[in-house]
Structure 1
């Protein structure tokens, strides 16, 4: 039960963080239009923005709670819960920033909630299996490759590439965290895999920050969440021993499809009509 509480709190903090970072990123671009959305320069401005730091702190809190939830809950549930933060961000944006919410978004939020209920009812709490030998080196190489590709993507106007790379980086975070969370927390600094997880989190956060400056929050986060959910669910079930309540395998499939459909539709809807953002001086 504690794992489910941690997951719910993590989702709430992720949603608040998305909205705050989105508003800060747009404010940074609007305040320096000559620089535009250039990757390194933009990120340097963001780390000095208090609103961005609030959003970053919320993301860190969500990350820590999700890490604790992974000690007992399978990845397909934890990552689906994190993905639902994009829907929660729509609600927070509506209440705090006056974003316009349409009927289709309300329907999608209900579909995502239904999918999350199915996954919660299908999940069997269990510790993760140890990763195969050499997996930490493989994950480190994956993080390095993602970082190199992200630098190249920052030089172009591509948003999808950046958020897909962010999704891959956060998948490394989730897989690493699932293996680490069940062990003694005091020993984490001594485990190389923990530093791989931190590096992946920083790379993913940088990709997400730049992506948020170039697109609406839901449009940017939706493909990232889709990539993360698919990768982590596959690795969790195939490698880490994530379990399902007997006879409810199709519940997992239906739940994951509902969540994925929700984040994708929200992304498409937000591309068509970007949500209104309060001017920077009012944030």
Structure 2
């Protein structure tokens, strides 16, 4: 039960981070012309730093949740933060939720219930040398692409690259999360995990400048959920309750579809979830 409680707190922290970062990105983007200047200005914004702290807190909690829970559940729970952010905006900040958006949130909740009901606790397998080399190659390619696209690249592509980088964070942390904390910094993969997080954060910040905040986060989360879940089941030994494989398939489909639909339905002007209608 502890792992599930940690995951719930993780989702809440991520949601608060999304709200704060989205507000900061919007108000900073109106005052800066270049993307590199925007990124530098954003890093000095207290509101953005507060959002970053929320994201960091969510990451730490997700790290501990991955020690015992499969990636398909942890990543789906983390991606549901965009829905929690929308609810937070509606309840606390007065943003409007349309009926269709409420329906999407219900669909996402059903997907999470299916995933939670199909999950089994377990420790992940060690990452093989071959997979480690592949992860390093993907990170280098992702970092190079973010640098290349930093001036005028499409926001959606940057969001997808952020999702690729964060999926690597999830995969690596799943494999090392069960080790003693004092030994984690000595693990070579731990540094690859940190670098992946830096690349992902930079790509997301650049995407947020011109893209709809909810759409960008949704695209990033959908990419992360799919890549991490498939890798967790195929390479890390994530377990599924007997006879409930279809629960995982349907649950992931509902969560990913919900995340993407919520990103498509919402237009953001001054935050994560300002409704256009």
Q: Which of 53, 57, 66 is the equivalent residue of 2:62? A: 66
Following the alignment from structure 1 to structure 2, what is the Cα–Cα distance between the partners of residues 117 and 178? 21
Residue in 2 that maps onto 1:277: 270
1:39–1:155 Cα contact (<8 Å) kept: yes
Residue in 1 that maps onto 2:9: 9
Could you say what secondary structure the match of 1:243 adopts? Answer: coil
Unpaired segments of 5 or more residues in structure 1?
A: 279-283
2:36–2:151 Cα contact (<8 Å) kept: no
Question: What is the aligned length?
Answer: 271
Deviation at 1:156, TM superposition (A): 1.5
Deviation at 1:99, TM superposition (A): 2.4
Could you say what secondary structure the match of 2:129 adopts? Answer: coil
1:99–1:276 Cα contact (<8 Å) kept: no
Tell me the TM-score normalized by structure 1. Answer: 0.93
Could you say if the C-alpha distance between residues 93 and 212 of structure 1 is closer, same or farther in structure 2, counting changes exceeding 3 Å?
farther
Q: Which of 159, 171, 175 is the equivalent residue of 2:171? A: 175
Q: Which of 227, 245, 250 is the equivalent residue of 1:254? A: 250
Residue in 2 that maps onto 1:281: none
Q: Deviations over 1:139-195 (max 9, x none)?
A: 222111101101122222511110000000000000000001011111011111000
Superposition RMSD on alpha carbons, in Å? 1.2
1:100–1:276 Cα contact (<8 Å) kept: no
Following the alignment from structure 1 to structure 2, what is the Cα–Cα distance between the partners of residues 100 and 157? 31
Tell me the TM-score normalized by structure 2. Answer: 0.95
Unpaired segments of 5 or more residues in structure 2?
A: 272-277
Q: Deviations over 1:219-267 (max 9, x none)?
A: 1111111111110111000000000000111111110011011011111
